[in-house]
Amino acid sequence: MANKDDSFVVFDKVQKSYDGLSLVVKNLNLNIKKGEFLTMLGPSGSGKTTCLLMLAGFETATHGEILLDGKPINNIPPHKRGIGMVFQNYALFPHMTVGENLSFPLEVRKIDKNERETKVINALEMVQMSEFINRKPAQLSGGQQQRIALARSLVFNPDLVLMDEPLGALDKLLREHMQYEIKNLHRELGVTVVYVTHDQSEALTMSDRVAVFNDGQIQQLSTPDGLYENPENAFVAQFIGENNKLVGKVKKDNKTEVLVRVSKDIEVNAMKVNCEGEGSSTTLSIRPERIHLNSKYKNKVNATVKHLIYHGDHIRCQIQLDKDNDFIVKIPNSNIKNNLKVGEKISISWDTKDCHALDA
């Protein structure tokens, strides 16, 4: 049961079905604190956008309750929830100027003309777009339109802003720039933000906490570093950041660590995170940057270099452990004293604490 006492947004046992048979969202319990930047992250069809639409009021929960600032909102229409919204396609009115687009949500709320003008100017200044007040959306670039959409979501000083893949249509450099702008605005204004994306890098960059969705359920809810450093299951390990995976059976179990037999020639010591005892199958997770060449850690494996890709600050090295297992190793450029060669036999190792034994 979600704790309703200390949260600004609460999903309490929320379910959603579109056809009455299959659940798109399954028994969701989620607390979001006031002023928090929470991202719902997951692949297409995982239920994240449906959760956002239920919070906005564009979809209705099949079961359960959604609360905003302690009050149930299931039966409150979208325009009376006082929530700002930013969409991927901007959703600006093409026949209106920038100023008119920002003024519209204020007019709906029956705010007088002088106050409307002040709020519009303040919102445009926040996103550095004051000089474009008389332009139409078609006269703006994609990045400029997204800034206007962001300003419009903030113009009536909402306590909660929802963002649905807002940067998906922008190119990489502009998207990264806008990530920092949105995060800075969040810090300055103290507004609560619920953000939906399938981009893991975006989620890790911007969020206070991230809820990782898959198959209509939250797989893990944690801080960005918590998700990356301590994934709780194999799905999260694979979805968040780059990850090397080994599958094997638990040979020994001492409660905090396990010894896993991967193949005839490979046995690995790992931290026991989410796996059963001796004889059970498990998936091992090791991040590429935690693997070292020729170091003397407990886990040591012989391998063959298959591919080398230069990435400036590091070399991306694909290696083959045996006929069934390939690894990616990220090697800092400054650490390569002797040039590696494709086909070269090498030794790799990693610390037990950097290897997690997860569900099979």
Retrieve residue 176's tokens: 């990264």
Residue ranges of E strands in the chain? 9-16, 25-32, 37-41, 63-68, 71-72, 83-87, 160-164, 192-197, 209-214, 217-222, 244-253, 257-261, 267-272, 281-286, 292-293, 299-310, 314-322, 325-332, 345-350, 355-358
What pLDDT score was predicted for residue 330?
92
> What are the beta bridge partners of residue 67?
10, 72
- pLDDT tens, residue by residue, 197-223: 999 999 999 999 999 999 999 999 999
If one counts every other C-beta atom within 10 angstroms of the C-beta of residue 225, the result is 9
**Nearest CA among 340, 322, 337 for reference residue 263:** 322
SS3 56: helix
Query: What is the bridge-based pairing of β-strands 83-87 and 257-261?
Result: unpaired
Which pLDDT does position 4 carry in this prediction? 52
Low-confidence ranges of the chain (pLDDT < 70): 1-5, 335-338
Domain span(s) for CATH 2.40.50.100 in the chain: 242-358
- 217-222 and 314-322 strand pairing: unpaired
CA nearest 64: which of 36, 34, 25?
Answer: 25
- Cα→Cα distances 108→58, 156, 197, Å: 18, 10, 29
Predicted TM-score (pTM) of the model is 0.89
Residue 181: burial class (beta carbons within 10 Å; 0-12, 13-18, 19+): middle
pLDDT at position 1:
43
Contact call for residues 317 and 326 (beta carbons, < 8 A): no
CATH number for the domain formed by residue range(s) 242-358: 2.40.50.100
pLDDT at residue 83 in the model: 94
Q: Could you tell me if 239 and 197 are in contact, meaning their C-beta atoms sit under 8 angstroms apart?
A: no
DSSP string over 249-311: EEEEE-SSEEEEE-SSS-EEEEEESS--STT-EEEEEE-GGG-EES---SEEEEEEEEEEEE-
CATH class of 9-234: alpha beta
Residue 306: per-residue pLDDT: 94
- Residue 56: how many CB atoms within 10 A of its CB? 18
38 forms beta bridges with: 194, 209
Measure the CA–CA gap between 136 and 231, rounded to whole angstroms: 46
d(CA 300, CA 348) in angstroms, rounded, equals 6
